[in-house]
């Protein structure tokens, strides 16, 4: 295919700009003082500081995991700054108090913070480096009793809720990156949906990394009380830089009886350049506990950015009849690598899980699906359906699947399907014969391949995801 | 309109077309018949620009342009349409979506405004009715799970929407029941006019009772070995290819 490859390969990452804003940045390196500094900046209560320090103690004894199918240089954790916040008024009360540069940044990213300009029915928490700079529609949501704010604010205003649930899904010593996050997490979103409330809007957090040589460690905590419903979406972008940056987030979800949490991610961190220079290292621990009867947690992710992705959004199905779902599209182009998948841990009776994973590899991208389905001995009549499809575009990329299954109850019903296909020459030719350019043909075919996942996204975001996929695929045909 | 001169084509060092010549004037319908493996589909695919086939010698001009210089999508936009012998399945892509994209790509090429959803919907439904195609087929994924006959009808449906200048039909009649054959033939006949030409590849004289060709060519071992009028098809039906 003699498409103008040069031109396409030079297509810039659209969100790679840097915002010029005065920031307060902690000196590089990690020690107790840094943790105390972060905690005091946030006026945290003593228990939280202790919790952080405990996490740090554990982290120091832990080894960086290397079992993933990922290759990257050793990360020097003392060469990173653990706190960066805009200097001007880090917690504005109204829009007028926000640094105009920051406001403009969000405008440029297509996330205007003025409520009247927003997508109808979407509330946004905007996180800029280490702090949440603004949360929209807070008052409107409060009318329904919904709490949607930054986690720092939640620590101050709703300490009992935070204390009860923080670390209840991902304990602070869970794994290397989770421990690191627990020690130094800076901001993130907090959501509480009271009993019987169907959250009237989509909630979303938009994460923006801006500062150089800093890591982003956000922490999100979502609690859906009995019979409630919430749909939450996170989006992420970062400037284009030559140095890689670390992003190690923790997300915890708790669903009580009959509650539903739908959590969607559109991850578009800077992926690095053609030579693989720069890009975000994305090491994320996401887990949900379906503690209530007939509760439901659904993860949908579209992962197109980052140089390295290490991420396994999981569900622990404790309540009887609870449901866990994982829908994933992971795309790796150029030199990107993704090792991603899920864990479905069936504890309660009649629990059901569904896993649909679509991996697309182009360029020299490497895409790994790693999944665990565990059926505990009391999980009578648990059911799992897993479908893992991989698509290869070109000859230099790779796809691997590592499905692990552990069944300790003989009444379990498991179904597994997997396929690998090379994007068909024949499909390409068919589309081009009808008049589509090679790029349009690839994105049409790939979007078709991902349809089952996209249909799980809220409508506006499904459109966004399709566009993003097309952009991320640019330069992949050759 | 189309001129193919001394065309030599090979795949994996194996020569398949060995000096193929054919000239098609505007408004003409040419039929190509010939034994299995003689190179008919190869010719069709080369006209459409399939890259796995290497043209080693000869030339193809289409409306004064050197076709071999053009990408497949450019050829499509210039007015070449191929109804595939084996239409390809594309899971997850709605039939109507591909077709709208295709039509709009063609319109953009001609610097026309893209067709709106409603306008396209109406156009598509009208054509579907005429071809007796179930409307559900529009929403389903391209060719996925279509029956053999449905796939072929879908090709003709696409042709009607895209309105090519030169349509190459590769065994579109294979696998069609009698009624479908008539519908497809009507679909083609309704598009015949002085500016549009067809190359109809078939194994059966029966189709040519419905789509009456101006010329019939016999292709054997990568070359046209005999050309004539529509009566040649009748002759072949009786005698087979043994004489060639
Ligand atoms: N991609 C390919 N690789 C190898 N051989 C090929 C390829 N395409 C075609 N051929 C060979 O070229 C010859 C001509 O094939 P072609 O499909 O053009 O025949 P045809 O006349 O259309 O036959 P049929 O009537 O059976 O459809 C056959 O021997 C076929 O095996
Ligand atoms: Mg053939």
Q: Is pLDDT of A260 > 50?
A: yes
SS3 call for A416:
strand
The pLDDT of residue A447 is 87
The pLDDT of residue A13 is 66
**H helices of A248-297, where?**
none
Q: Who has greater pLDDT, A1 or A234?
A: A234
Q: How close B214 gets to chain A, by Cα (Å)?
A: 26
Other C-beta atoms closer than 10 Å to the C-beta of A224 total 32
Q: Who has greater pLDDT, B77 or A138?
A: B77
The pLDDT of residue A9 is 34
Contact B102 A431 (CB under 8 A): yes
**Residues of chain B with C-beta less than 8 angstroms from the C-beta of A419:** none
Contact A447 B92 (CB under 8 A): yes
Mean pLDDT score, A249-274: 89
Contact B105 A436 (CB under 8 A): yes
User: Which helix (H) or strand (E) element contains residue A429?
Assistant: helix A425-433
The pLDDT of residue B128 is 87
A263/A258 Cα distance (integer angstroms): 16
Q: Is pLDDT of A474 > 50?
A: yes
Q: What is the pLDDT of residues B34-88, one digit of tens each?
A: 999 999 999 999 999 998 999 999 999 999 999 999 999 999 999 999 999 999 9
Mean pLDDT score, A447-459: 84
Contact B31, B216 (CB under 8 A): yes
Q: Is pLDDT of A371 > 90?
A: yes
Contact B91 A431 (CB under 8 A): no
Q: What residue of B is the nearest CA neighbor of A444?
A: B93
The pLDDT of residue A8 is 35
Q: Whose CA is nearest to atom 3 of ligand 1?
A: B11
β-strand partners of A356: A327, A387
The pLDDT of residue B132 is 80
Q: Is pLDDT of B16 > 90?
A: yes
Mean pLDDT score, A84-96: 66
Q: What's the predicted TM-score (pTM) here? A: 0.81
Lowest mean pLDDT among A63-67, A210-214, B45-49, B72-76: A210-214
Lowest mean pLDDT among A26-40, A96-110, A279-293, B174-188: A96-110
Decide: residue A4, CB within 10 A, 0-12 exposed, 13-18 middle, 19+ buried.
Answer: exposed
Mean pLDDT score, A104-115: 69
Mean pLDDT score, A23-39: 86
At A5, the pLDDT band (50, 70, 90 cuts) reads very low
Contact A251, A286 (CB under 8 A): yes
Contact A444 B102 (CB under 8 A): no
Q: How close B195 gets to chain A, by Cα (Å)?
A: 20
Q: What residue of B is the nearest CA neighbor of A440?
A: B101
At A122, the pLDDT band (50, 70, 90 cuts) reads low
DSSP A216: B
Residue to mutate, B16, B33, B50, B172, ligand 1, most ligand atoms under 8 Å from C-beta: B16
Query: What ipTM was estimated for this complex?
Result: 0.96
A371/A313 Cα distance (integer angstroms): 10
SS3 call for B201:
strand
A115/A375 Cα distance (integer angstroms): 45
- Best mutation target among B102, B110, B161 (most A Cβ atoms within 10 Å) is B102
Q: Is pLDDT of A395 > 70?
A: yes
The residue behind tokens 């500062």 is A211
Mean pLDDT score, A68-75: 84
**Average pLDDT, whole number, for chain A?**
84
SS3 call for B188:
helix
DSSP A275: T
The pLDDT of residue A272 is 74
Contact A461, A267 (CB under 8 A): no
**What distance, in Å, lies between the first and last C-alpha atoms of chain B?**
29
B163/B168 Cα distance (integer angstroms): 12
Q: What residue of B is the nearest CA neighbor of A443?
A: B93
């Amino acid at each position: 295919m003699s498409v103008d490859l040069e031109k396409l390969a030079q297509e810039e990452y659209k969100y790679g700009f840097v915002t010029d804003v005065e920031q307060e940045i902690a000196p590089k390196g990690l020690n107790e003082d840094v943790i105390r500094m972060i905690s005091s900046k946030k006026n945290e209560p003593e228990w939280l500081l202790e919790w952080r320090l405990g996490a740090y103690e554990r982290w120091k004894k832990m080894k960086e995991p290397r079992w993933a199918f990922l290759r990257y240089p050793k990360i020097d954790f003392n060469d990173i700054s653990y706190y960066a916040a805009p200097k001007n008024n880090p917690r504005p009360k109204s829009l007028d108090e926000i640094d105009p540069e920051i406001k403009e940044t969000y405008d440029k990213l297509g996330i205007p913070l003025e409520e009247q300009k927003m997508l109808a029915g979407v509330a946004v928490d905007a996180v800029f480096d280490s702090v949440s700079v603004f949360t929209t529609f807070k008052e409107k949501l409060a009318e329904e009793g919904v709490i949607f704010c930054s986690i720092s604010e939640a620590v101050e205003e709703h300490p009992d809720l935070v204390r009860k649930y923080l670390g209840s899904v991902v304990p602070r010593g869970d794994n290397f990156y989770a421990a690191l996050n627990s020690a130094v997490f800076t901001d993130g979103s907090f959501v509480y949906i009271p009993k019987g409330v169907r959250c009237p809007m989509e909630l979303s957090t938009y994460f923006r990394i801006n500062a150089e040589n800093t890591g982003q460690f956000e922490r999100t905590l979502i609690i859906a009380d009995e019979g409630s419903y919430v749909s939450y979406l996170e989006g992420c972008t970062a400037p284009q830089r030559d140095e890689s940056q670390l992003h190690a987030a923790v997300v915890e979800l708790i669903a009580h009886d009959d509650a539903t949490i739908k959590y969607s991610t559109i991850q578009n961190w800077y992926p690095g350049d053609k030579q693989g220079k720069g890009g975000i290292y994305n090491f994320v621990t996401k887990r949900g506990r379906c503690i209530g009867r007939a509760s439901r947690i659904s993860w949908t992710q579209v992962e197109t950015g980052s140089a390295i992705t290490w991420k396994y959004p999981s569900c622990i199905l404790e309540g009887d009849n609870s449901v866990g779902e994982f829908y994933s599209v992971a795309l790796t182009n150029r030199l990107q690598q993704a090792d991603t998948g899920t864990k479905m841990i069936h504890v309660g009776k009649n629990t059901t899980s569904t896993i649909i994973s679509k991996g697309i590899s182009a360029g020299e991208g490497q895409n790994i699906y790693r999944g665990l389905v565990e059926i505990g001995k009391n999980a009578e009549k648990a059911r799992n359906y897993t479908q893992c499809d991989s698509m290869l575009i070109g000859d230099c990329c790779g796809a691997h699947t590592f499905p692990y299954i552990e069944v300790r109850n003989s009444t379990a019903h498991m179904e597994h399907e997997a396929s690998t296909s090379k994007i068909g020459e024949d499909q390409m030719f068919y589309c081009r014969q009808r008049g589509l350019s090679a790029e349009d043909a690839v994105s049409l075919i790939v979007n078709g391949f991902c349809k089952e996942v996209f249909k799980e996204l809220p409508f506006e975001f499904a459109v966004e995801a399709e566009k993003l996929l097309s952009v991320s695929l640019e330069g992949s045909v050759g | 309109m189309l001129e193919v001169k001394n065309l030599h084509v090979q795949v994996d060092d194996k020569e398949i077309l060995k000096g193929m010549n054919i000239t098609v004037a505007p408004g003409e319908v040419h039929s190509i018949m010939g034994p299995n493996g003689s190179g008919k589909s190869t010719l069709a695919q080369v006209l459409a620009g399939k890259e796995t086939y290497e043209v080693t010698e000869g030339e193809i001009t289409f409306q004064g342009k050197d076709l071999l210089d053009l990408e497949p999508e450019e050829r499509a936009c210039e007015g070449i349409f191929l109804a595939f012998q084996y239409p390809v399945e594309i899971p997850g892509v709605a039939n109507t979506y591909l077709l709208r994209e295709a039509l709009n790509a063609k319109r953009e090429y001609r610097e026309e405004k893209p067709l709106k959803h409603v306008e396209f919907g109406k156009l598509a439904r009208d054509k579907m009715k005429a071809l007796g195609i179930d409307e559900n087929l529009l929403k389903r994924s391209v060719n996925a799970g279509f029956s053999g006959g449905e796939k072929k009808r879908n090709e003709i449906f696409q042709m009607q929407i895209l309105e090519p200048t030169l349509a190459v039909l590769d065994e579109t009649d294979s696998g069609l029941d009698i009624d479908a054959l008539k519908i497809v033939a009507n679909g083609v006949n309704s598009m015949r006019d002085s500016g549009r030409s067809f190359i109809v590849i078939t194994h059966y004289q029966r189709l040519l009772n419905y789509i009456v060709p101006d010329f019939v060519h016999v292709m054997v071992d990568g070359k046209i070995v005999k050309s004539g009028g529509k009566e040649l098809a009748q002759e072949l039906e009786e005698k087979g290819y043994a004489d060639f």
